[in-house]
Amino acid sequence: MSALKKTARLPVALICLWAILWPQSAPALVQAERDRAVQKYYEQKASIDAASGQRHLAIGEWCVNKGLLEQARQEFARAISLGRGSAQEKATAALGALEALTPDQIKKRFHPPSGKELKLFRLKVAKAALDDRRGSKKLADAAWAAGESLADVAAAGYGRLIDGARTIPEIDGEGRIVLDVGPVPAPVSKAVCDAGGAITINGRPRIRTAFLRRVPSVDVLYMAECDDLALFSEKGLDEAVALHAVGAALLPYLKKDLGAEPDRGLHVCVFHSTASYDEYCAQSGHPEYTVSNGFTNLEDFLSVVRVPDKNGRALTDFQVQSIVLHELVHLFQFAVTATPMPSWYAEGIAETYGGVGTYQWAAGSKRLRIGGLVERRRIDALRVPGNLIGLDEFLRLEARNLHALDRAMTERFYTQSWAFLRFLRKGAGRTAARKLAAWETDCQNNRLDSAEAQRRFTIAFGKNMKSLERDFIKFVETL
């Protein structure tokens, strides 16, 4: 289950009583120093903005020289939004020139990036992002030094850094929030924590990032993490460690099969309270998912899982594991694909790696095997005459619209999504597999909407859609 809603939010936890931090009046000497600090802040901001714009402009120009169209657009857009001066002007002109290209010109000059090119591109972007965060930290520190004149600027700056942290920031012995680019001043950190910004994770105080602020009733969580994945559990550390192990074992398969890897850490949270799960759904603006066992929310870049299930029934450890893997695949795929994919594909790929029966996990050796068939009962249900959804209707269905309606129809859609993707990859012949791979690459590297992605799929397979449907029906009978 996935959600594609994206909205912009101010860091609510940083709405603090700044009057406590600075007196209403100050001696003339102190005020003069603050005036100089304000001037220094704006001088620094101009310099840092210019440097940030130049960094992303340079990456965009590198992308053009390498023939990477979508990556060039992305970096020029960043240079425009983050930069100023000549870098911003050059990026605006460069982006305009790209948008003016005809399809024939694009075809001649640009190509889908290779794995090596993508890896190098992501290394460049990661380094630029770290330099951007360092610059943002310097600006927030400068605004803090300027006192109450720039208090709101400092608050917003620290807030963005906290919310954009790759891992959940800890609070050190001095009461400071510790980021990868340095600590937040103790008075600001205290104001954030006093405003409800702290949570206990593995027995230690940590700061609430955006998704944790959506569950203010949850005071304690347990976490297992590595560079690529953080797994949170409301139940206990043992569950967090166990689920993290199988999730981390899946990531190398996804990196290889999808030919890319996320440029940020992946977060999954398992709630063992229906109230906590429902609270997150409501606070994140997705009350429709209270009828589901979990969903993936791109706004917070987080997958959430609910135990027990929507009907109050207990789930086995294996069932929880399967839901976690299903949602983790969604999160990974969204991280590496520029296009929000049609529902059948998104659910098909999630079931390919996370469907019950499709994988085997040996906890002792931490060995994961993938590529199996979904449960036999689901395949048998799909093979009942009349249960296969007609291909035209199937390709247009949205999973999120099915959950509150017909449970059996929902399960059939998920099973058929898995079967159809497996058919295209392994059962429809080399030509179909190549067309699918080309379409996947197109969607991965270009920012299309879901409808356009589906249109391009139909164009790729349209001439043979009827025969494709007949062959698919036969394929299902062989499963």
Check whether residue 352 and residue 305 sit in a common domain.
no
Report the amino acid identity of residue 336: V
Report the amino acid identity of residue 303: S
How many Å apart are CA 197 and CA 189, to the nearest integer?
A: 9
* CA proximity to 185, closest of 197, 193, 177: 177
Q: Is residue 41 part of a domain?
A: yes
The predicted structure's pLDDT at residue 477: 94
| Domain endpoint, select from 307, 336, 365 | 336
| Domain endpoint, select from 310, 336, 362 | 336
CATH of the domain at 243: 3.40.30.160
Q: Is residue 293 part of a domain?
A: yes
Check whether residue 29 and residue 169 sit in a common domain.
yes
- Residues of the chain by 3-state class (helix, strand, coil), percent to 5: 60, 10, 30
Q: Is residue 298 part of a domain?
A: yes
Q: Is residue 139 part of a domain?
A: yes
Check whether residue 328 and residue 341 sit in a common domain.
no
Residues in the chain: 479
How many Å apart are CA 414 and CA 348, to the nearest integer?
A: 7
Record the tokens describing residue 344, joined without a space: 């059948």
The predicted structure's pLDDT at residue 466: 87
The arrangement of strands across the sheet holding 220-225 comes to 2-3, 294-297, 302-306, 266-271, 229-233, 220-225, 198-201, 204-207, 170-171, 177-179, 182-183
- Exposed, middle or buried, 73 (CB in 10 Å: 0-12/13-18/19+)? buried
CB 365 within 8 A of CB 437: no
CB 237 within 8 A of CB 203: no
The predicted structure's pLDDT at residue 25: 46
Q: Is residue 200 part of a domain?
A: no
Alpha helices in 67-114 (DSSP H): 69-82, 85-99, 103-109
Which uninterrupted H or E stretch holds 453? Answer: helix 450-461
Helix (H, G, I), strand (E, B) or coil at 232: strand
CB 193 within 8 A of CB 204: no
Check whether residue 22 and residue 82 sit in a common domain.
yes
Q: Is residue 137 part of a domain?
A: yes
Q: DSSP assignment of 285-338, as one string?
A: T-GGGGGSSEEEETTTTEEEEESS-TTS----HHHHHHHHHHHHHHHHHHHH-S
The predicted structure's pLDDT at residue 1: 61
Task: Using only the alpha carbons of the chain, give its radius of gyration.
Answer: 25
Record the tokens describing residue 321, joined without a space: 């594991």
pLDDT string in tens for the chain (479-residue length): 655 443 334 444 443 434 344 444 456 666 677 678 788 888 889 999 999 999 999 999 999 999 988 889 989 999 999 888 899 999 999 999 998 988 888 888 888 777 788 789 988 998 999 999 999 999 999 998 888 888 889 988 998 898 877 778 888 888 899 998 999 999 888 888 887 778 999 998 888 888 898 999 999 999 999 888 999 999 999 999 999 999 999 999 998 888 877 877 899 999 999 999 999 999 999 998 888 889 999 888 899 999 987 777 888 899 999 999 999 999 999 988 878 899 999 999 999 999 999 999 998 888 999 999 999 999 999 999 999 999 999 999 988 887 666 777 888 999 999 999 999 999 999 999 999 999 998 888 777 889 999 999 999 988 778 899 999 999 999 99
| Domain endpoint, select from 143, 162, 195 | 195
Give how many domains the chain has, as a whole number: 3
Check whether residue 375 and residue 446 sit in a common domain.
yes
How far does Cα 465 stand from its chain's mean position? Answer: 33
Q: Is residue 201 part of a domain?
A: no
| Domain of 478, in residue numbers | 337-479
The predicted structure's pLDDT at residue 94: 94
Check whether residue 300 and residue 391 sit in a common domain.
no
Check whether residue 130 and residue 70 sit in a common domain.
yes
Q: Is residue 407 part of a domain?
A: yes
Check whether residue 310 and residue 409 sit in a common domain.
no
Check whether residue 227 and residue 370 sit in a common domain.
no
Check whether residue 6 and residue 151 sit in a common domain.
yes
Record the tokens describing residue 214, joined without a space: 């959506």
Check whether residue 219 and residue 150 sit in a common domain.
no
Examine residue 308 and say whether the peptide bond preceding it is cis (omega within 30 degrees of 0). Answer: yes
The predicted structure's pLDDT at residue 400: 80
The sign one gets for the Cα dihedral 362, 363, 366, 369 is positive
CB 73 within 8 A of CB 40: no
Check whether residue 327 and residue 468 sit in a common domain.
no
Q: What is the dihedral of CA 433, 435, 436, 442, to 10 degrees?
A: 150
The predicted structure's pLDDT at residue 463: 76
How many Å apart are CA 462 and CA 465, to the nearest integer?
A: 5
